Structures are given as C-alpha cells and as structure tokens.
Amino acid sequence: MSIEVRNLTFTYAPGMPDETLAIDDISFSIADGQICGIIGHTGSGKSTLLQHLNGLLKPGSGEIYIDDACITDGKTKLVDIRKKVGLVFQYPEYQLFEETVAKDVAFGPKNLGLDAEEIDKRVRDAIAVVGLDYEEVSEKSPFELSGGQKRRVAIAGVIAMNPKILILDEPTAGLDPTAHAEVISMVKDIHEKLGIIMIFVSHNMRDIANLSDKVLVINEGKIALEGTPREVFAERAFLQSMGLDVPPIVNIVKKLEEKTEDFTTEALTADEAADEICAYINKQNR
Amino acid sequence: MIRDITLGQYYPGKSVIHKLDARTKIIGTIAFIVELFIVNNFWGFLIAAGAMFAVIGVSRVPLKFIFRGLTAVFVIILFTFVINLFMVDGRVLWHWWILTITYEGLRRALFMAVRLVLLIIGSSILTLCTKPIELTDGLEKLLKPLQKVGVPSHEIALMMTIALRFIPTLMEETDKIIKAQQARGADFESGSIIQRAKNLIPILIPLFISSFRIAQELALAMEARCYNGGSGRTRMNEIHFKKKDMVAAVVLAVFLGVVIASRWI
C-alpha cells in the first residue's frame, strides 16, 4: 500500500463571491507502513486534503493514486475507496447514532455488505484494537460512555471496515490529558497491531515528533515543509514564522544550546534530550 | 447539494439597496407584493417588472444568482399555470378529449405565472440585499407599536434571529455528519424511497443531538451575559432613517401611484 498525491488543487464555491482556493498544487507520497503527521493552522487546508484521500471531495485538478490505482479518474467506485481508506473526522463521537456500541461499530461493515458472522468478528476485533472491553461496552448505549470512550468507539467504527489506510483528523482534540495520552498510545497500538499506513493531524508537536515517520507542514493550501520529524523540526525559525512551533522539549534544549558554549543538540523527544544532557554533564565532570 | 438553495440567502454587496434601512426595504417589499395584487392588466406587470429589474440593476446582484432561486419553486409555478390553463370557461381556442383551452384561461394562466415569478423575485431581493440581523432588527422596530396590544415583538425578532443565525451552523453540521457517515460507507443516493428514508437515520439522530447541544450552549451563553428579555435592552447599532430612505420612499410612492393608475389603461 502506498499513497501518492500529484498536483492536487481544490477551490471551494468556484464562481461565487466567496470563492476560496483551499488546496494549491499539493504533491506528496507516503510509503507502506508509515505514520504521517500533518501540521498546519486551522483553515490551512488540512481537512480538505484528507477528504480528498477518501473520495468525499473531488479535486479541481490533479490525481491521487492509492497503490498505483488512480482514484480520481471518476471510474473507481466510491465504496472501493472507502474500503481501503478509513477516515475518522474531528470529534467523531458526534456521528454515533445506534442504540448500542456493538450496533454502531457494525454500521460500517454492514454498509460493505458483509455477512453477519464476519461483521460480528470485525466488531469484536475493532473494539479490542481501540482498547475497550467488548463484554463490558458492547450492549451499552454509546451515549452513556465517557468522552474518551465515545471517541474510541467512533474510531472502532472505522477500523471495523478493515482499512488499509487510516486517517485521523485531530484524534485528541478536546480531550483531557489522561484521555489524550490514552488516545495517543492507542494510535501507536493500532499501528503496531495492524501495520497499516496512518495519517494523523495534530496541533500537538510532541505527538507529531513521537509518532510520525514523516511530517507534512501545510500552510495556506501549500506544503511548506516535508520530511522526517527531525528534518522538519530543525526549521524552528521558519515554523515559528508561520505561527507553528517545535515540540516544547526542542525549545528547551535549543535554549540550553544557546546558553552553553560546547553543548550541541539534535534531540526531539524527552528521552533523547535527557541522554544528551547527561552525556554533556558527564563530559564536564571528567 | 443543500447549498444550492438561494431562497433567503444574503448576497454581500455595497450598493444603495444594501445600505437602505431594513424597515424601508421591508415596507417596500410589502408594498410591491400588495401592488402585484392590485394590478389587473399586463401593462401594470410591465411597469412592476421594469421597476424590479431597475432595483436589481442598482443592487448589482447577478441575475444568474436571482434566477437560481426560481428553479426551486418552478414546479409550483408550472402547476398553477396548468390548473389555470384548463379550468377557466370562455372562448374556446383548442379542444381535445376532456382538455379545453380557452382564451380567458390562457390569459389567466399567464397572468398568474407572471405574478408568481415577480412575487418570488421581488421578495428574494429583500433577503439578498439585507443581512439577516438587520432584517430582524427592522422587523422588531416595525412590530414595536403592536407590543401595546400584547404582540411579543422582541421575542419574535429574537426567535427569527436565532433561527437565521443557526441555519448555516446546522447546514455545516449536517454536511459534516453526512460526510462522516459516507466515510463509513453509508449510501444516500440509491435504493427505494423507503430504503432512502431509512438511510437518513444515521444523519438525523446525530443532528438532533447536535441541535440540542447547540441550543443548550446558546442558552447558557445568553444567561452568562445576563440576558433577561427585551425590556430596557439597548443595541450596538441603532437603526435610523437616512436621506436615502426618504428618496426611496418617494420613488416607492410614485411607483405605487403609477401602478394604481395602470388599472385604467
């Protein structure tokens, strides 16, 4: 599985007075098994881009290839795209509607026309993958659950469709720190268990640095930066000029670097920073 | 899909029509509608249409935009036309089986169709050129005298404001939910009518829940700002009649006079 986007352009309300260019000639590719983090301002075009990958929006121009098959030529059936690409929207708990958690998670697989046995198996698997206990929650109403649990159920609803590519639009928005940490470790788990391509949008630079193999920075409908987290977060001044930032720990070690003479750093995570600082102190003491 | 409905939409602009006092425009529109029913011959309609297109010209709203609103009510216009065409007795022009077209029927049908078209375009100019908030403010002021006889003018205006304010929010919400369910493989475009109605459940339930949530948040936000009804409430933008409005009133009066005079042409 791989994704390739070529010269994608999209305009909202073309020909109307409030016409806006949301995506301006974007090209990128994601290799099999990668986690890709996307950062950018509200209104930079991230969500619009994600909706293209799932066939919900048709591009003004440009092509999207999933596994070397073009999904934007108008011939591909939408159901087939959605079987391959699972998209979890922002605040996905607002799309829950069924009487029980199990029925809600089964909505997606049912739409794919699977038989009852397969649906049941997928529902059990998906609920387990998101870290919930099937016996405990399956017969509950989704509206009785806590915020973090609701969100997991909604994500399970998409995972149950067995996507080869899973897209999460701000999966941690509006969660408290505990639920936030749970969702992030769940994202890691899903990737480990399923090994699929994952794309996630976040405003939390620490999560981006910890999870991604590849980072896309989107600004005003264009790709401003692209690369590994280390490459992208090395451009601290440029990110800050766009009103974005680097992970907090990077800011700390970079300040240390400025204030000490022979301390240089490339740390992205707290662990790496701790190692570098310890090494420096040991060297000084010697 | 839902965005194609232009009836009741606002078209941003800076024309004189946009800047007129909302009250002037409301009264003007009512006068225009009344006048459409005073007219008894095609000359009157010609004058009305001329005046209407002059106003559209001044407002700089593209004609394309205005006519798009008509397509939504096309069926109603067609229905009225056909009913009138076959149901009026008089001088027979054409006859086949049980269908008869008379001269009077044709005249009446055309008359009604023109009246409806003018009615719809005329009233859509009001909403196209007036911000919803200004519209309800104007309405509140116009209804104020009726407060003495127990008409809750402020509450009516507030309800209208909230309803109008939340149309785009709910549209956006609907759009989001539709997309989310489509991403889960839901299909809203095929199947029998019953099947399609059933398919709406995954949209309607989340939408209901969202509306209640939004309503509750709004009520809390209003209470947090000490909202307690209309009495003694001042506003940031007081509306006043200006010179433009006097000019508009004179133009309107002349127009009405001409139209009434057209009855005797």
Q: In the predicted model, what is the mean pLDDT of chain B?
A: 83
* Residue B198: pLDDT band with limits 50, 70, 90: confident
Residues A179 and A257 in one domain: no
pLDDT per residue over B91-105, tens digit each?
A: 777 777 777 788 888
- Characterize the bridge pairing of strands A3-12 and A20-30: antiparallel
Q: Are A173 and A165 a contacting pair, CB within 8 Å?
A: no
> Chains A and B: how many Cβ contacts under 8 Å?
59
% pLDDT > 90, chain A = 52
Residues B251 and B190 in one domain: no
On whether residue B190 sits in a domain, the answer given is: yes
What residues have CB less than 8 Å from A263, skipping those under 6 apart?
A: A256, A257, A276, A280
- Characterize the bridge pairing of strands A61-66 and A3-12: antiparallel
Residues B117 and B9 in one domain: yes
Please give the pLDDT value at position B8: 62
Q: Which two tokens stand for residue A205?
A: 């630079």
* Residue A104: pLDDT band with limits 50, 70, 90: very high
CATH classification of the domain holding A196: 3.40.50.300
Residues A154 and A184 in one domain: yes
What residues have CB less than 8 Å from A171, skipping those under 6 apart?
A: A88, A151, A155, A183, A187, A200, A202
* Residue A50: pLDDT band with limits 50, 70, 90: very high
Residues A225 and A264 in one domain: no
Residues B163 and B40 in one domain: no
Residues A269 and A139 in one domain: no
Check CB contact under 8 Å for B185 and A79: yes
Q: Which two tokens stand for residue B120?
A: 């719809």
Contacts of A108 in chain B (CB under 8 A): 184-185
Q: Are B70 and B121 a contacting pair, CB within 8 Å?
A: yes
Please give the pLDDT value at position B2: 47
Residue bearing the bigger pLDDT, B262 or B8: B262
pLDDT per residue over B105-123, tens digit each?
A: 888 888 889 998 999 888 8
Distance CA B47, CA A275 (A): 86
Check CB contact under 8 Å for A95 and B12: no
Residues B7 and B122 in one domain: yes
Contacts of A97 in chain B (CB under 8 A): 201-202, 205-206
Distance CA A242, CA A224 (A): 9
On whether residue B255 sits in a domain, the answer given is: yes
Question: In this model, does residue A102 exceed pLDDT 80?
Answer: yes
Residues B48 and B179 in one domain: no
Q: Which residues of B93-108 are buried (b: 16+ CB within 10 A; e: fewer)?
A: eeeeeeebbbeebbbb
On whether residue B232 sits in a domain, the answer given is: no
pLDDT per residue over B126-162, tens digit each?
A: 888 888 888 888 888 888 888 888 888 888 888 888 8
Please give the pLDDT value at position B1: 40
Question: In this model, does residue B46 exceed pLDDT 80?
Answer: yes
Question: In this model, does residue B246 exceed pLDDT 60?
Answer: yes
Residues B125 and B40 in one domain: yes
Please give the pLDDT value at position B131: 84
% pLDDT > 70, chain B = 96
Residues B7 and B68 in one domain: yes
Residues A144 and A271 in one domain: no
Please give the pLDDT value at position B206: 92
Check CB contact under 8 Å for A56 and B11: no
CB atoms under 10 Å from CB of B80, counted, come to: 16
Question: In this model, does residue A126 exceed pLDDT 90?
Answer: yes
Question: In this model, does residue A154 exceed pLDDT 90?
Answer: yes
Residues B101 and B164 in one domain: no
Q: Which of A89, A111, A158 sits opposite B186 (nearest CB)?
A: A111
Q: CA of A169: which chain B residue's CA is closest?
A: B180
Residues A116 and A253 in one domain: no
Please give the pLDDT value at position B169: 84
Counting beta carbons within 10 angstroms of the beta carbon of residue A133, is it exposed (0 to 12), middle (13 to 18) or buried (19 or more)? exposed
Q: Are A269 and A209 a contacting pair, CB within 8 Å?
A: yes
Check CB contact under 8 Å for A86 and B201: no
Please give the pLDDT value at position A121: 94
Torsion angles phi and psi, residue A214, rounded to 5: -145, 145
pLDDT per residue over A201-253, tens digit each?
A: 999 999 999 999 999 999 989 999 999 999 999 998 999 999 898 999 999 99
Report the residue of B4, B11, B184, B199 to disrupt the A interface, i.e. the one with the largest count of A CBs within 10 Å. B184
Q: How close is the nearest chain A Cα to the Cα of B12, in Å?
A: 8
Q: State ipTM.
A: 0.84
Question: In this model, does residue B19 exceed pLDDT 90?
Answer: no
Q: How close is the nearest chain B Cα to the Cα of A39, in Å?
A: 21
Into how many domains does chain A fold?
2
Report the residue of A89, A97, A122 to disrupt the B interface, i.e. the one with the largest count of B CBs within 10 Å. A97
Residues B78 and B175 in one domain: no
Q: CA of A160: which chain B residue's CA is closest?
A: B184
Q: Are A55 and A84 a contacting pair, CB within 8 Å?
A: no
On whether residue B137 sits in a domain, the answer given is: no
Residues A117 and A259 in one domain: no
Residues A40 and A111 in one domain: yes
Distance CA A260, CA B37 (A): 87
* Residue A125: pLDDT band with limits 50, 70, 90: very high
Instruction: Look at the pTM and tell me if it is higher than 0.90.
Output: no
Domain carrying residue A257: 247-286
Into how many domains does chain B fold?
2
Residues B88 and B198 in one domain: no
Question: In this model, does residue B90 exceed pLDDT 80?
Answer: no
Residues A256-285 have a mean pLDDT of 87
Residues A155 and A274 in one domain: no
* Residue B7: pLDDT band with limits 50, 70, 90: low
On whether residue B136 sits in a domain, the answer given is: no
Report how far apart the first and last C-alpha atoms of chain A are (Å, whole number).
51
Residues A233 and A278 in one domain: no
Distance CA B244, CA B20 (A): 7
Contacts of A95 in chain B (CB under 8 A): 177, 180-181, 184, 202, 206
Domain carrying residue B182: 152-224
Residues A251 and A174 in one domain: no
pLDDT per residue over A166-191, tens digit each?
A: 999 999 998 889 889 989 999 999 99
Residue bearing the bigger pLDDT, A25 or B260: A25
Residues A93 and A191 in one domain: yes
What residues have CB less than 8 Å from A225, skipping those under 6 apart?
A: A215, A216, A217, A231, A232, A235, A238, A239
Residues B36 and B87 in one domain: yes
On whether residue B83 sits in a domain, the answer given is: yes
